[in-house]
Structure 1
Amino acid sequence: MRDFGAGFGYLLAGLRWMARHRRDYGLGLVPGLVTLVLYAAALTALAWWGTDLVTAATPFADGWSSPWLGLFRGLLTVVVFCLAMLGAVLAFTAVTLLIGQPFYETLSERVDRSVSPDGTAPESGRSLWTELWISARDSLRILVRVALCGIVLFALGFVPVVGQTVIPVIGALVTGFFLSHELTSVALQRRSIDLRERLALLRSRKGLAWGFGAPLGLAFLVPFVAVFLMPGAVAGATLMARELVGEPVVRPTPRV
């Protein structure tokens, strides 16, 4: 429980850091706003053409009698849209971090410098394009893991009692773990720590990852909240990454 509380504390610390460094807040908002616009366009298109898509994908049902044809395709359309919404929530962080790689790299470096005893920040020495490639590749690997976990949890959700009590809690913890990974990857990748080692670090401190990511994942379910929390989440994840690798932290100097 101590690690869980510490993880939540890092989330709050990241939000406080952004409150003290307001000039950086606008920088951190840009990627989330771009992602939000892209998601809104994609989901609007799915809502508009979703019925046509389902009709094209189920030609075997063309001969079904009414009302079964309408009920089947209507239910399938709702399921497809709900799955798309779930995928959008789960993938929002990965997509935003990919789009905003240069923005969040800069933000994470500034957090590192503000709490480092010598005022410096680790640098990978890699080019921007190399960083983008590594980030995209690792994010895809994580999304595959998330999708597999999501399918299993979705199926278990139909189990009576357990599916309505235990599974949602497990789902929140799984989402929180992967959110923590995606957000700390900005700082850890800059330290040349690869995907396997990042996952190992977080598995060794699962309570820390859950305490940081689970509340954030629940907050991200509220429309638009993710956009405004992302800068603070990146700042908090950078602070947490320093603990994961054993780097000292000094009290940041306020700057407005």
Structure 2
Amino acid sequence: MRQRVSDLLAGAGIFLRGFGTWAKDPGLMALGAVPALIVGSIMLAAVVLLGFQVGGWAEALTPFADGWDEQWSGLLRLALGLGMLVGVVVLCVLTFAAVTLAVGDPFYERISRAVDRRLGTAGEPVDLGLWASIRKGVRDTAVLVGMAIGTAAVVFVVGLIPLVGTVLGLTLGAILGGQALARELTGYAGDARGMTLVERRALLRTNTWRSMGFGVVAYLLLLIPGVAVIATPVAIVGATLLVRDLRGEPTHAADTADAADPADPSAAPAQP
């Protein structure tokens, strides 16, 4: 048990290390924040709109409860409304990551590869070719979105449990959502190593608790409007460090006179 807690904390620490990159290379990280700001604003507006509508939807979906005692019909509709809201929030967090990564693909790839260059790349990036890359991207995105929908559905069903459903739904959403985010966010580092989605999932399972610690922190921070914008590029730095850690690659730069930050992409060699 102690080892599992240690791994959870280590995974969380891997994510949090990425925040130091904002101080070292704010320009690069700010580029990664722009897609998150655009996508996040749209999704936040959608969630707020849903919050005003969910009560009416819950009532419309339960006409059979009109003849019930007001207390029981109200409890049922409250549970249904909260379940829908929690499920949609989980779905938004997971699809937020997928859509943001797609919109900001060049920026996030640059951030991930900068981390690899700083720490010692595992080899030349794998060039799949245009069409093979497109097919792989579409296939991986479809799988990840399918997982997001499945996770949201499970959380919605659990959220229907009276009294404790909302708390259980939020907890389950953080766990399942964190695992899904870990799969999504490690895509750039995995692609640079020629890994398929199946291989990436297998890698994350080599230390499930460490991967979960990373993913849950990512999930919780991406839940918070504003913080999600800052945390998205940080997540790419952390995900690259996570892949390196699980593969046994160096995650800290060799000691140097200037003691450069180990996750600082700005320390990477200038490109020709």
Q: Tell me if TM exceeds 0.5.
A: yes
Kept in 2: contact 1:17–1:232 (CA 8 A) = yes
Residue 30, structure 1, aligned to residue 5, structure 2 = no
Kept in 2: contact 1:117–1:250 (CA 8 A) = no
Counterpart in the other structure of 2:91: 87
In 1, Cα distance between the equivalents of 2:144 and 2:23? 30
In 2, Cα distance between the equivalents of 1:77 and 1:243? 41
Relative to structure 1, the CA distance from residue 185 to residue 27 in structure 2 (aligned partners, 3 Å threshold; closer, same or farther) is same
Residue 100, structure 1, aligned to residue 104, structure 2 = yes
Counterpart in the other structure of 2:22: 18
Counterpart in the other structure of 2:203: 201
- SS of the residue 1:189 aligns to: helix
In 2, Cα distance between the equivalents of 1:37 and 1:166? 27
In 2, Cα distance between the equivalents of 1:160 and 1:30? 39
Relative to structure 1, the CA distance from residue 196 to residue 81 in structure 2 (aligned partners, 3 Å threshold; closer, same or farther) is same
107-116 or 163-172, which deviates more: 163-172
| Match 2:222 to one of 207, 220, 223 | 220
How many angstroms does 1:7 deviate by? 0.9
In 1, Cα distance between the equivalents of 2:58 and 2:213? 39
How many angstroms does 1:99 deviate by? 1.2
| CA root-mean-square deviation | 3.8
Structure 2 unpaired stretches of 5+: 255-259, 268-272
Kept in 1: contact 2:182–2:239 (CA 8 A) = yes
Q: Between Structure 1 and Structure 2, how many residues are aligned? A: 249
- SS of the residue 2:225 aligns to: coil
Kept in 1: contact 2:12–2:214 (CA 8 A) = yes
Kept in 1: contact 2:206–2:246 (CA 8 A) = no
- SS of the residue 1:96 aligns to: helix
Letter paired with 1:98: A
In 2, Cα distance between the equivalents of 1:202 and 1:159? 34
Letter paired with 1:222: I
In 1, Cα distance between the equivalents of 2:125 and 2:237? 15
- SS of the residue 1:248 aligns to: coil
Kept in 1: contact 2:204–2:211 (CA 8 A) = yes
In 1, Cα distance between the equivalents of 2:162 and 2:84? 21
Counterpart in the other structure of 1:110: 114
Letter paired with 1:235: V
How many angstroms does 1:181 deviate by? 1.1
